[in-house]
């Protein structure tokens, strides 16, 4: 087992080939951490390949990928200090138009894969009496966004899971935190699955998705979120949650308690649906 320099940690990042995952992996490697990536696609990115200590190719929707990823890191490093669950996908469409297959696939990646990776990493971190788990949620995990309801549901699940896990893991020296991005410019926009073409919701969905895609297109660079991840990994104590993204979005979500649910949801509907 390699002796690690002071402050250098062994980090496992999911969704490492694109978006937040790629930016986070590169940023952490740049400050000296030993970063391992997990991704579904073949690694064909020379910059990322040079930065990573290792890459595990696998579909996180398959049950054995999480255990295999952790095992491969342990085989080389003998420890795992940080797990960052970055992988995720989205659905654009009305909930009535979202069938069981689409919903299960989304929940499999956005929630169940997170749970499996946490379960795989926790025994290692408990033995070490220390470790950090950062789960990527969303500001959409604090509000049910119209025509992104399935995505919001998956992130609400991550929120509840992470809060409970933080309590349960704390006596063993394991810290759990949430990161809640707003709108960022990533490939997530183009890869979002659209459902319900031609349904009664079609005009409303198109209006909402046009607003969503415009906001994402004018959002922050993923490197901004990666810089936050670097800071969180370096912190002695993780916050329960940290929002990231546009100030207006963060203020709106945080102000929900002040304005009340009915007004908040009315404003949300007007903003995305125009009615």
CATH of the domain at 46: 3.40.50.720
Active site (annotated) includes residue 151? yes
Each residue's pLDDT expressed in tens, for the chain with a length of 275 residues: 344 555 799 999 999 999 999 999 999 999 999 999 999 999 999 999 999 999 999 999 999 999 999 999 999 999 999 999 999 999 999 999 999 999 999 999 999 999 999 999 999 999 999 999 999 999 999 999 999 999 999 999 999 999 999 999 999 999 999 999 999 989 899 999 999 999 999 999 999 999 999 999 988 899 999 999 999 999 999 999 999 877 777 787 778 888 999 999 999 999 999 99
Whether residue 119 lies inside any domain: the answer is yes
Supply the range of the domain harboring residue 166. Answer: 10-273
CB 38 within 8 A of CB 121: no
Whether residue 28 lies inside any domain: the answer is yes
Count of C-beta atoms within a 10 Å radius of residue 218: 10
Strands (E), the chain: 10-14, 34-39, 54-57, 82-85, 91-92, 131-136, 174-181, 193-194, 241-244
Half-sphere exposure of 228 (CA within 13 A, CB side): 22
pLDDT tens for each residue of 90-140? 999 999 999 999 999 999 999 999 999 999 999 999 999 999 999 999 999
Phi first, then psi, for residue 241 (nearest 5°) are: -150, 155
Overall number of domains in the chain: 1
Whether residue 5 lies inside any domain: the answer is no
Whether residue 110 lies inside any domain: the answer is yes
Whether residue 136 lies inside any domain: the answer is yes
Whether residue 2 lies inside any domain: the answer is no
Residues 6 or more apart in contact with residue 101 via CB below 8 angstroms: none
Whether residue 226 lies inside any domain: the answer is yes
pTM of the model: 0.94
Whether residue 1 lies inside any domain: the answer is no
Looking at 151, 161, 201, 272, which residue is catalytic? 151
């Amino acid at each position: 087992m390699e002796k690690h320099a002071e402050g250098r940690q062994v980090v496992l990042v999911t969704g490492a080939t694109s978006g937040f995952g790629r930016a986070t992996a590169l940023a952490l490697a740049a400050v000296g951490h030993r970063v391992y990536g997990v991704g579904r696609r073949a690694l064909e990115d020379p910059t990322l390949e040079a930065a990573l200590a290792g890459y595990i190719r696998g579909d996180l929707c398959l049950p054995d990928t999480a255990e295999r990823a952790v095992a491969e890191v342990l085989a080389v490093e003998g420890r795992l200090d940080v797990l960052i669950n970055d992988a995720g996908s989205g659905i654009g469409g009305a909930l009535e138009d979202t069938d069981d297959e689409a919903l299960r696939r989304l929940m499999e990646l956005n929630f169940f894969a997170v749970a499996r990776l946490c379960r795989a990493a926790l025994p290692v971190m408990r033995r070490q009496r220390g470790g950090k788990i950062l789960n990527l949620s969303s500001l959409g995990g604090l509000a049910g966004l119209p025509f992104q309801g399935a995505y919001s549901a998956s992130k609400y699940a991550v929120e509840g899971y992470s809060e409970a896990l933080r309590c349960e893991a704390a006596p063993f020296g394991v810290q759990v935190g949430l990161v809640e991005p707003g709108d960022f410019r990533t490939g997530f926009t183009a890869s979002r699955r659209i459902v319900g073409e031609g349904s009664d919701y079609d005009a409303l969905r198109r209006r909402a998705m046009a607003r969503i895609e415009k906001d994402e297109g004018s959002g922050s660079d993923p490197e901004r979120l990666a810089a936050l991840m670097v800071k969180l990994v370096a912190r002695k104590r993780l916050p329960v949650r940290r929002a990231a993204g546009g100030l207006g979005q963060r203020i709106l979500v945080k102000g929900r308690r002040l304005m009340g649910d009915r007004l908040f949801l009315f404003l949300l509907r007007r903003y995305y649906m125009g009615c």
